[in-house]
Amino acid sequence: MTEHKQQPNTVEYFLQDIEHHGRNERTAAAYERVLSEYETFLDERFDKTPPAASYRDCMAWVHDLRATHSESTVATYASYLNRFYSYLERVGHTEENPMTVVLEEMTESIESNPTRRDVTLSEMRSFVAAVRHPLHRAIVTTLLKTGIRAGELCNLDLIDLNLAHEAQTWQPRAHIAGRPDSLFIATEHTYGRESGGERRTASNKRKRETVIPVDEELKTALVRWLAVRPDTPQRATGAASEPLFVSTADNWGQRLTPNVVHHVVERYARERGWYRTGGGAAENVTPHYFRHFFTTHLRDRTGDRGIVQYLRGDVASDVIDTYTHNWGDRVRETYLEHIYSVAE
């Protein structure tokens, strides 16, 4: 037996730690499997224990994974290892996290545009604070807290929202009936085609349907909007496609269009100095910028690119079932633990 095998089992300590923090059995089992395989890899390849591993050792493991796993799975496993080393660094078993540099160097394919305007979380909170209109506040908060596209926001129907609140007077769709405080993003809506008895003005550009958690901050914004939301023509006919967001100005009570959402965001962005006529994506803050903001900040906070991809609707079929089947335990838990606040 080599000397390093007599050292404390840091993987076992880490697993005990996440168990103490309330991680469910399936999540703990996934961590145990991946970290055990990593521990064996280090032992057989470099005769090392995890605390002694370097950046190069971690990168070698990532390259080894790529030979047999999809890129999205590799990213998820790398996020496990990153959390493990963050724990070791916190409790003093290693001086630094070797996965920090590895994650920086891994190929980034989701919404990376270093030339975009750099808006800090503090600045974004100040921006949101200036949005007083209930509809506008709900629009901006929904975009910032979910990362959905303007068209997807416009396509939301009341049945796509399940709130644990008395403001909910409708029956949510079956997909989220047992999931209070959640939002369902469908894939079925296409520009110019009829869906739910209504011709749509935007498409939902998602690979798969998505369930997004609604935290208390977004819930508050939505409840305040619902308190003043006008009745709609769909309500009179009992149509299932009664929209969540409707106009309170021109076209009173009609479903919002992406153009209206863009105008709302542009108005406040101009007041803030974040929008200029003729300015491009690198300069102007638009509804799509909020998707970029959501992606960047949530990915950095969680270290889990797979979950961010799921929430964005970008995740491929090889991992979608993992997040769908374990939505209540994995995605919701991670989201609520790490989602930023946009209220001052």
**174-217 pLDDT tens trace:** 999 989 999 999 988 887 888 888 888 888 878 788 999 999 99
249 CB burial (10 A radius; 0-12, 13-18, 19+): exposed
Q: Indicate whether 22 and 78 sit together in one domain.
A: yes
Q: Indicate whether 271 and 328 sit together in one domain.
A: yes
Are 145 and 342 spatial neighbours (Cβ–Cβ below 8 Å)? yes
- The residues facing 210 across adjacent strands are 185
Are 283 and 276 spatial neighbours (Cβ–Cβ below 8 Å)? yes
Q: Indicate whether 175 and 319 sit together in one domain.
A: yes
pLDDT band at 1 (very low <50, low <70, confident <90, very high): very low
Residue 112 lies in a domain: no
Mean pLDDT of the chain: 84
- Asked whether the predicted pLDDT for residue 112 surpasses 70, the reply is no
Query: Minimum mean pLDDT among 222-236, 242-256, 297-311, 317-331: which range?
Result: 317-331
What is the chain's length?
Answer: 344
| Angle (nearest 5°) at CA 288 between 279 and 110 | 110
pLDDT, position 321: 58
Q: Indicate whether 133 and 194 sit together in one domain.
A: yes
Domain that holds residue 45: 10-105
How many distinct structural domains can be found in the chain? Answer: 2
Q: Indicate whether 155 and 83 sit together in one domain.
A: no
Q: Indicate whether 200 and 88 sit together in one domain.
A: no
- For position 66, which CATH number holds? 1.10.150.130
For the chain, give the percent of residues with pLDDT over 90: 44
**Could you report the per-residue pLDDT of 25-81, keeping only the tens digit for each?**
777 888 899 999 999 999 999 999 999 998 888 988 988 998 888 877 888 899 889
pLDDT band at 118 (very low <50, low <70, confident <90, very high): confident
- Return the closest-CA partner of residue 23 out of 336, 262, 333, 337: 333
Tokens representing 32? 């145990």
Task: Give, rounded to a whole angstrom, the gap between the first and last alpha carbons of the chain.
Answer: 57
Q: Indicate whether 164 and 264 sit together in one domain.
A: yes
